[in-house]
Amino acid sequence: MEPERNICVIGSLNVDLVATATKIPVKGETILASSFAIRYGGKGANQAVACSRLGIQTNLVAKIGDDDYGRQAMEKLAEYSVNTSTVIKEELESTGLALIVVEEETGENVITVVSGANARLSSEDVLRHEEAIVSCSICLLQLEIPLDTVKKTIEIAKRNQIKVILNPAPFQLLNDEILYGIDILVPNVLELEILLGLHIPDSTWYSNDDSETAVIFGLVDRLQRKFQNLALVITLGKRGCIVCPHMENKHLNAFLIEPYISTHHTVDTTGAGDCFCGALAVGLMEYGNLLEAARFANIAAGISVTRQGTQESYPSREQVEYLLK
């Protein structure tokens, strides 16, 4: 079957319950919150929304519990035109939840995550929805679902010559089987550090000393010599990203939006990484070239940080293309 120009995201779906208070309670303490908000997230859902907002038909394979949170999250996804016909409802389980208390003045927070239905997304579920994967040309994964499910998805994608992008967050050790099956790995700096077993001081990215980055690229090279199909795109927060295609020269491609929009300042970076990954998949589909795709993603994520929230901060195709010119 010829794959369509669709993207399939296999991953988590969460609902964040956010209370803002004058302080974070200590053990045994009860405090009154000054405000409360419900936000929709989960890396899988966020990345699916990013793709869909950028105009690509996107299937989401995920799991919700049998509760109102799950139903509301589905409604939200439908508003963003994500195809949710492959979101499975798990009886007697709760939807993935994050209970968050934010301290008003400092913005510091404490978070308790209930994986709920996300932890129940199984290899069998993925097999049951194989059609939603094999009808796409790109498959986008993260690590908020069981690793066996990720492995099974990669196996299906590879059998059907579908490109696999993995955002290894939150980081778990990746075995060779996974790394052989991925086309593009998109770690942030912390995930790269663990992957390469190397501490990378923040100053490295500001330094003009090439010997510092040479150590990192030497290790990336070594990884790519072993896993010959593996390309990397490393995200560096406000410093943009680094693109490492297969065994070629490395390109630093930091895109900051400030010079383009004079009124810009960073408002909220939550979910920028997810916006970047979704947009990278869309860019790859549009341009067929990793460097161009990363430029597109850098701009999309750059726009998202100028707006409050996560999914609601993701840009449309027109907004990204306006800045690409």
Is 210 one of the annotated active-site residues of the chain? no
Binding residue for ligand ATP (CB under 6 A) from 200, 256, 291, 324? 256
- CA distances in angstroms from 62 to 130, 169, 306, listed in the order given: 13, 16, 29
Applying the rule CB under 6 A, the residues between 157 and 196 that interact with ligand ATP are: 169, 188
Q: Please report whether residue 241 would count as binding ligand ATP according to CB under 6 A.
A: yes
Take residue 252 and report the two structure tokens written for it.
């630093």
Stretch that binds ligand ATP, among 76-84, 115-123, 198-206, 234-242 (CB under 6 A): 234-242
The answer to whether 271 contacts ligand ATP (rule: CB under 6 A) is: yes
As a whole number of angstroms, the distance between CA 320 and CA 275 comes to 12
Structure letter (DSSP) for residue 138: E
Residue 234 in tokens: 């490393």
Among 237, 250, 292, 319, indicate the residue that binds ligand ATP (CB under 6 A).
Answer: 237
Pick 46 or 115: Cβ nearer ligand ATP: 46
If one asks whether residue 290 binds ligand ATP (CB under 6 A), the answer comes out as no
Residue 47 touches ligand ATP, criterion: CB under 6 A: no
CA 50 to chain centroid: 9
By CB under 6 A, name the one of 115, 164, 274, 282 that touches ligand ATP. 274
DSSP string covering 127-192 = HHTHHHHHTSSEEEE-SSS-HHHHHHHHHHHHHTT-EEEE---S--PPPHHHHHH-SEE--BHHHH
Residue 303, number of CB atoms within 10 A of its CB: 24
* Shortest reach from residue 260's CB to ligand ATP, in Å: 11
Q: Is 311 in the site for ligand ATP (CB under 6 A)?
A: no
Tell me the window of 79-87, 135-143, 242-250, 271-279 that interacts with ligand ATP (CB under 6 A). 271-279
Tokens 């195809």, located at residue: 83
Q: Pick the catalytic residue from 16, 125, 183, 274.
A: 274
Please work out the total of residues on this chain that contact ligand ATP, with binding judged by CB under 6 A. 22
288 Ramachandran zone, left/alpha/beta (phi>0; psi -120 to 50)? left
- 155/247 Cα distance (integer angstroms): 24
Report the catalytic residues: 274
Binding site for ligand ATP (CB under 6 A): 169, 188, 235-238, 240-241, 256-257, 266, 269-274, 276, 298, 301-302, 305
